[in-house]
Amino acid sequence: MSKQSISATAMVATGNPLAAQAALQMLQHGGTAVDAAIAADAVMGVVEPMATSIGGDLLAMIHSSGQPVQSYNGTGRAPLALDADNVAALPGQRIPERHPWSVTTPGAVRGWHDLHAKYGRLPWKQLFAHAIKHARDGFAVAAVAAREWAIFDFVVRQHDDCARLYRAGNSPSAGEQFVNPELADVLEMIAQEGADAFYQGWIPEQASQAVQRAGGLLTVQDFHQHTGNYCMPVSQRFNGFEVHQCPPNTHGVAILDALQKIEQFAGTPYAPETHIAMIEATASAMKQAKSTVADPAGNTVCTVIVDGNGLAITLMSSIFKRFGSGIVVPGGGFVLQNRGFGFSSPGHINGPGPGKRPYHTVVPGITTLNNEFYLGMGVVGGLMQPQGQIQILTQVLAWDSGLPQAINAPRWRLEAGDTLAIEHGMPSTIEAAMRGAGYCKPPVSAGELAGRSDFGGAHAIVRLSDNTLLGAADQRKDGCVVAV
């Protein structure tokens, strides 16, 4: 397995070699890209517990040859007991980052079920064999995952069950084995009994009790009522391509808005003013999204797969911030997400409300050319997700950069107050122009990401002019690609 590969048939790009192996086996056994993506995502929840789990959300973009691109929204809703007036009494009139009210209903397991029901071919229980094995028998913790585990030990320490499960004060080092038999049992239950086993029975009981003991609002009813939904994506023409993103409550619209502005500028990649225009377009688009994106009714992992029949999926799952809320489901072996931190203050279009989906940072994307699959991509890393996609899409679709070159190119990251983090390796003339345009350096240890999520991690597959598939995984993360 490597960071890039070419195949004439099928391709997997995902966040960990163990996830790639699971996806590969599903394809070899006659499964679809969706079967393979579910298997990979289940493994990611085992091997990167700080980034995703069955306690988080899922979003996906799917394209089948000759068919319109489909979007799936598997994001969870705020507890039915959440009261906007109570939020208004909090400091800043917002739910704090890991406040117990930030816990929203997990959507990932229902998402797996819905995707499999429409696009799957293999038996449901077969999809979880690898994840169950790695959770029960143990796995070697990957290098980037180990680093992030240690950095966010302070989250793990906040609740006793979380501290015991994730070894507070003694996080595993790279290559060290980690086992999670409780999670193995839950995954076995899901495999044998289906998604309803997660949303009924003892999991909702234990989850709601744990959240309520911490002062939160999640109830059994929130689990029972959760549903995901298929929907049409939002799309934008860009340099002859059609870029498709998930609609609100995600900020996929920010990517499309920025690309439209970038195309109108039409600069060359060698001119510093082109890069300034890209930053300005991104800043404007993200500001607009922050003001307008909401439920119309961080932290993440990404898997992109194209199978031998041309079915393509970009699937991303997340518990938001590293280790989510820090609240573990007793006996479940997983942590619950803190996506409610995405709500704005009461009265805003994205203000909190019972049963409402918060603003969501996860943005899986698919690009088509002449109605056929061209590029599937996701970038993990909080607010680097739209920013990373904008930079890579511009390079691949407008500047004719190769996919691996675009992914490996140095990036910039907008933060609050017109600060701009610039990755090492940026050409000095362009970096000087960025600083000259008024974008100052963020504080070394106090930026929004504080160097911990760095400049994101991309996984992508592109169809080349000879119809072969090129997969690429970001050197910044533990991911890999495997040709089938």
Residue whose C-alpha is closest to residue 136's, from 186, 203, 200, 204? 186
Average pLDDT value over all residues in the chain = 94
Tens digit of each residue's pLDDT (9 = 90 or more) over 191-249: 999 999 999 999 999 999 999 999 999 999 999 999 999 999 999 999 999 999 999 99
User: Using CA atoms, how far apart are residues 55 and 327, in angstroms rounded to an integer?
Assistant: 10
pLDDT digits (tens, 9 = 90+) for 338-354: 999 999 999 999 999 99
At residue 297, the pLDDT reads: 47
CA distances to 179, 256, 265, 299, 414 from 321, in Å:
22, 25, 35, 5, 18
Q: Which residue has the higher pLDDT, 172 or 417?
A: 172
Q: Tell if the pTM clears 0.85, that is, is over it.
A: yes
Q: What backbone torsions phi and psi does residue 464 show, to the nearest 5 degrees? A: -80, 170
Give pLDDT tens digits for 55-101. 999 999 999 998 999 999 999 999 999 999 999 999 999 999 999 99
For residue 298, what pLDDT is reported? 61
Confidence at residue 290, expressed as pLDDT on a 0 to 100 scale: 81
Q: Is residue 292 a contact partner of residue 349, using CB atoms and an 8 Å limit?
A: yes
**Residue 65, amino acid:** S
Task: State how far the Cα of 320 lies from the Cα of 107, in Å rounded to an integer.
Answer: 12
d(CA 365, CA 394): 14
Could you state, in order of their start, the residue ranges of all structural domains in the chain?
4-483
What does the pLDDT read at residue 418? 83
Residue 149 has pLDDT above 50, yes or no: yes
Q: Which residues pair with 354 in a beta bridge?
A: none
Which CATH entry fits the domain spanning 4-483: 3.40.50.720, 3.60.20.40, 3.20.20.140, 3.40.190.10? 3.60.20.40
Report, as an integer, the average pLDDT of 313-333. 97
For the cut 60, the answer to whether the pLDDT of residue 448 exceeds it is no
Average pLDDT, integer, range 356-383:
94
Phi, psi of 434 (to 5 degrees): -65, -45
CB 21 within 8 A of CB 481: no
Residue 143 CB partners (closer than 8 Å, separation 6+): 174, 478
